[in-house]
Structure 1
Amino acid sequence: MNESVEGQESILRQVAKKEIEIIIKNWVRICEIKFGWIEDLDKIVVKYAKDFELIKELNGHEDSITSVRFLPDGKRVISSSHDKTIRIWDIKLGKDIKILKGHENWVYVAEIILKKDMVASGSHDKTIRLWDINTEQEIIILKEYKRAVWYINVSLDNKYIVSSLSDGTVQLWDLHSKKEIKQIIAHPHGVQCIQFSFGSQFIVSASDDHTLALWDVQSGNMLQHFKGHLGSVLRARFSPDDRFIVSCSRDKTIRIWDISSNKQLHIFYGHSDTVNDVRYFPNGQTIVSCSNDNTIRLWDITSELTTQILQGHPASPTEIDVSPDGSTIVAGFYDRIIQIWG
């Protein structure tokens, strides 16, 4: 046995089990230290990572939940539903405090426009709408398309809205003028998800054609085309540092891609059915996913291991989000329920 291995084993023997538990108790949420130098310690990290527990259920929607987002304060949540409404919830109160009505069909997605007290939404009624949060009134219908608006996203710099349709096209909107400034024929099949990078310079699209693509916001040019999934790609999200993209698919897998090299870095197996959504935690070391297998899973990226499975609910989770401080998870379900885990 070489000195390096002997030294590693000696270190492990010196650290009591109790001490390891204390060190690692909050690892999943806040610790950014990587313990990859010892494989055995990686397994201990996973074993003693602090668990999320169900702390609240929110009831009020009358049909399936389609999207959920934390507001920046982490104390409120915005949701959309097949019941044609958008709701804002106070987590502590456990009830909706705003209800936005006006869409004529399913609302697929709703997002807060930061610092403007506005909400943007996309719907099966083929419209994108802007709403005033305070008055709960519709401000404007940006456009009525010929196809359903499957997804929208607002850039963090508050300059743009990007939308995607069931026909494979992507649209870029100027938020100030409320005008469409660019349209891209992005994929031959519907675009399930469209997302700005944190720096607002790039967009990633996820499509039913089994691929995802990276786009330059200013030029509208495709920069990278990521291939590997064996089914529709339902969601794609940037890492907090905009270096990586995580995606999930009907092929039951989650994959992480390196933007600069166009290479697949990780593939996560474990879900037994379609993976509906995936998100990075703020620390960039953990991801969370939800699936039609009725589970929510937390994963350690380095080891590709599941750190916790949140289950017990009889319906499938449709979408998830992580609070800005990484302490809380929100999940929306097909059976109209929204769950808060902390």
Structure 2
Amino acid sequence: MRLKRLHIRYYPPGIILDYEKGGQQRTKSIDFLDLTPDTDVNDLLADIRRVEPLITASRTDQVKALIKRLQDKLSQRDERKFYLFKALQAHILPLTNVAFNKSGSSFITGSYDRTCKIWDTASGEELHTLEGHRNVVYAIAFNNPYGDKIATGSFDKTCRLWSTETGKCFYIFRGHTAEIVCLAFNPQSTLVATGSMDTTAKLWNVESGEEVSTLAGHSAEIISLCFNTVGNRLVTGSFDHTVILWDVPSGRREHTLIGHRGEISSVQFNWDCSLIVTASMDKNCKVWDAESGQCLSTLTGHDDEVLDVCFNYTGQLIATASADGTSRVFNADTYQCVCKLEGHEGEISKVCFNPQGTRVLTASADKTARVWCVRSSSCLQVLEGHTDEIFSCAFNYEGDTIITGN
């Protein structure tokens, strides 16, 4: 093995190693999920060298410099305020979803008008309109971190794969017998997973456009799905109250996660693939061990349905969004509620962390989005201007731009 180059990754903190083995170019990452500005760099470097043979003595100064850059990034105070930069009349009918590419230089919007549009973030210019679906475009995604492809899932029962640069449709994935309501690329951008009201999920080959496998096991609609960061496992959440963990290469069911007493609304892996969090209409979230499928804890406290849930980048915090108009942040190690975010006057349908994990963004039926401080539980900013329910929101990779959609 020969190390060729090192790259820094700010969120979550880590370094990427490009190396050669057996004549093939390969990549691996070293994650620093517990890194703080006070971490002893020399001790950390010694730990790395004990387990990673690619980090030789000649590379130690370079690695040390990268770790210090990560610490400097973590030390930066985040006191920015957001202002209305562009108000885009994106579609002739309401939006269904919004999403940034990895760099935040462009974003996409899906709509009831049967199209998906690609936008330039800085100028607000519409770059492409992706036309062809015969019904609502409900689920959308970039193939981040690459960002050169977009997948759209529609109520017309198909998924389409598009070129970001040209707007050309590469493939139409046909096979579902009901509406597609969720989708995701694997991290390697070789597969697209689609979840449907027909109770199945399907895996599609990005290169060939062929169906790879059908994941059948749920007895009701699949409403949410997520790949782990390695890309070898997929989790699906269903209205049948269960969550299924799948082995991607074989298409085999590994575990059925049983315990919720209501429909599943959202599922997500943490960064190191060790945990799964699920949200349900039963007013609770659950944390599961991704290896054994065992429930580790039930996160309680909401008075109404939990509509969304997510980890922060490092997987140390969990945020929830509820129809009771509140959001909560839990410690993913202790499962304790560390803050309750109160102030919205309607249900909260979407929640996400900024990349630094210091802020929470919520989107509500009260026509506002709010930015919250995790440490103090205080509302830092109310983002106003929409004339209807906000159902989707997102930070860009740097955490300095927000998009909200209604």
Report TM bin, short chain: 0.7 to 0.9
**Aligned-residue identity in percent:** 28
Contact 2:101 2:147 in 1 (8 A): no
| Partner residue, 1:46 | none
| Partner residue, 1:129 | 160
| Partner residue, 2:75 | none
Relative to structure 2, which stretch is displaced further, 97-106 or 270-279? 97-106
Relative to structure 2, which stretch is displaced further, 233-242 or 99-108? 99-108
Deviations 1:46-90 (A, max 9, x none): xxxx89976558553555543343421245543433343334455
Q: Which residues of 2 match residues 17-166 of structure 1 at below 5 A?
A: 56=84, 59-61=88-90, 63-74=93-104, 76-89=106-119, 98-114=128-144, 115=146, 117-143=148-174, 145-166=176-197
Contact 2:326 2:347 in 1 (8 A): yes
Query: Which of residues 282, 292, 295 in structure 2 aligns to 1:261?
Result: 292
Matched letter for residue 171 of structure 2? I
1:237 correspondence with 2:291: no
Deviations 1:80-114 (A, max 9, x none): 33343334455565676554343222222101023
Query: Which of residues 171, 176, 186 in structure 1 aligns to 2:217?
Result: 186
In 2 relative to 1, CA 307–53 (structure 1 residues): closer, same or farther, beyond 3 Å? farther
5+ unaligned residues in a row in structure 1: which ranges? 1-29, 34-49
Give the superposed CA RMSD: 3.2
Q: What is the distance in 2 between the residues matched to 1:103 and 1:141?
A: 10
Matched letter for residue 189 of structure 2? N
| Partner residue, 1:205 | 236
In 2 relative to 1, CA 287–193 (structure 1 residues): closer, same or farther, beyond 3 Å? same
Deviations 1:303-328 (A, max 9, x none): 5214251643x554434444555466
Aligned residues between the structures: 297
Q: What is the distance in 2 between the residues matched to 1:318 and 1:102?
A: 28
Q: What is the distance in 2 between the residues matched to 1:209 and 1:71?
A: 32
- What is the CA-CA distance between 1:284 and the residue it aligns to? 1.1
Deviations 1:265-322 (A, max 9, x none): 222223332222211101211122223334444333325214251643x554434444
Matched letter for residue 217 of structure 1? V
Q: Which residues of 2 match residues 326-337 of structure 1 at below 5 A?
A: 326=357, 335=388, 337=390
In 2 relative to 1, CA 90–281 (structure 1 residues): closer, same or farther, beyond 3 Å? farther
| Partner residue, 1:45 | none
| Partner residue, 1:304 | 336
- What is the CA-CA distance between 1:214 and the residue it aligns to? 0.7
Q: What is the distance in 2 between the residues matched to 1:94 and 1:307?
A: 35
| Partner residue, 2:69 | none
1:286 correspondence with 2:317: yes
Q: What is the distance in 1 between the residues matched to 2:360 and 2:118?
A: 16
In 2 relative to 1, CA 73–196 (structure 1 residues): closer, same or farther, beyond 3 Å? same
In 2 relative to 1, CA 200–145 (structure 1 residues): closer, same or farther, beyond 3 Å? same
In 2 relative to 1, CA 293–330 (structure 1 residues): closer, same or farther, beyond 3 Å? same
Q: What is the distance in 2 between the residues matched to 1:278 and 1:169?
A: 22
Q: What is the distance in 2 between the residues matched to 1:310 and 1:339?
A: 18
Q: What is the distance in 2 between the residues matched to 1:231 and 1:276?
A: 12
5+ unaligned residues in a row in structure 2: which ranges? 1-32, 37-77, 366-387, 400-406
- What is the CA-CA distance between 1:147 and the residue it aligns to? 0.9
| Partner residue, 1:26 | none
Relative to structure 2, which stretch is displaced further, 211-220 or 81-90? 81-90
In 2 relative to 1, CA 267–97 (structure 1 residues): closer, same or farther, beyond 3 Å? farther
Q: What is the distance in 1 between the residues matched to 2:362 and 2:133?
A: 23
Q: What is the distance in 1 between the residues matched to 2:136 and 2:352?
A: 20
Contact 1:61 1:336 in 2 (8 A): no
| Partner residue, 1:18 | none
Relative to structure 2, which stretch is displaced further, 175-184 or 84-93? 84-93
- What is the CA-CA distance between 1:213 and the residue it aligns to? 1.0
Give 3-state SS (helix, strand or coil) of 2:349's partner.
strand
Greater relative contact order structure (CA < 8 Å, 6+ sep): 1
Matched letter for residue 290 of structure 2? I
Contact 2:288 2:296 in 1 (8 A): yes
Q: What is the distance in 2 between the residues matched to 1:290 and 1:52?
A: 23
In 2 relative to 1, CA 340–214 (structure 1 residues): closer, same or farther, beyond 3 Å? closer
Contact 1:67 1:332 in 2 (8 A): no
- What is the CA-CA distance between 1:219 and the residue it aligns to? 1.3
- What is the CA-CA distance between 1:181 and the residue it aligns to? 1.6
Matched letter for residue 213 of structure 1? I
Contact 1:68 1:331 in 2 (8 A): no
Q: What is the distance in 2 between the residues matched to 1:96 and 1:336?
A: 23
In 2 relative to 1, CA 339–145 (structure 1 residues): closer, same or farther, beyond 3 Å? closer
